[in-house]
Amino acid sequence: MAQQSVVAEFRDAYYSELDAGEQSALIAWLAFTGAWSGVRGITHAIRAGEGPFRNLSLGGEHLHHYMWGIGMLAGVGGVAVRGDEKLHRHPATAVTYGVGLALIVDEFALLLDLQDVYWAKQGRISVDVAIGGIAAAGSVFAALPVLRKVARRLRERGKETESQPADA
């Protein structure tokens, strides 16, 4: 039996273990986790004055990234309400949903207070850790069927290798 790469194992498990809805959920969780982590890194770099990124302003007003997230979720909502059935669970729809949600959640404190308290020290680290943990946990739980199948196949592959006689 030819051995597959670990990437091929994940791909096969993804398609065999998850139905279309589960695939969309996993993609959305992974997109949320990746986007939220990326936005956290970028905003910290902007705050520290490091790297190529800068705040985006229009007419002297800072454009917060939650507004891009709201626009993305509005687009996904339009697909859900009026879009073609094959677009409902399309990977691009799931990615757009996950990224849009991450952009909104990242600035949730600003939306709650309607003040730019985004960088207040009180609770900012705990909020970052909590949201990061939720994102990672959601991604892992959504991927559990895939992870289990890949682990099972890797264990079977290891047993096959152990049981084969060594070449003399």
Q: Per-residue pLDDT tens, the chain, 168 aa: give them.
A: 467 788 999 999 999 999 988 999 999 999 999 999 999 889 889 888 998 988 888 888 888 888 999 999 999 999 999 888 888 889 999 999 999 999 988 887 677 665 555 566 655 665 777 788 888 888 888 899 999 999 988 888 888 777 777 664
Distance (Å, rounded) from C-alpha 38 to C-alpha 86?
A: 29
59: in domain: yes
The total domain count for the chain is 1
153: in domain: no
Range of the structural domain that residue 137 is part of: 28-143
138: in domain: yes
46: in domain: yes
- Which residues have C-beta within 8 Å of that of residue 126, sequence separation ≥ 6? none
9: in domain: no
83: in domain: yes
13: in domain: no
Answer whether 0.95 is exceeded by the pTM.
no
7: in domain: no
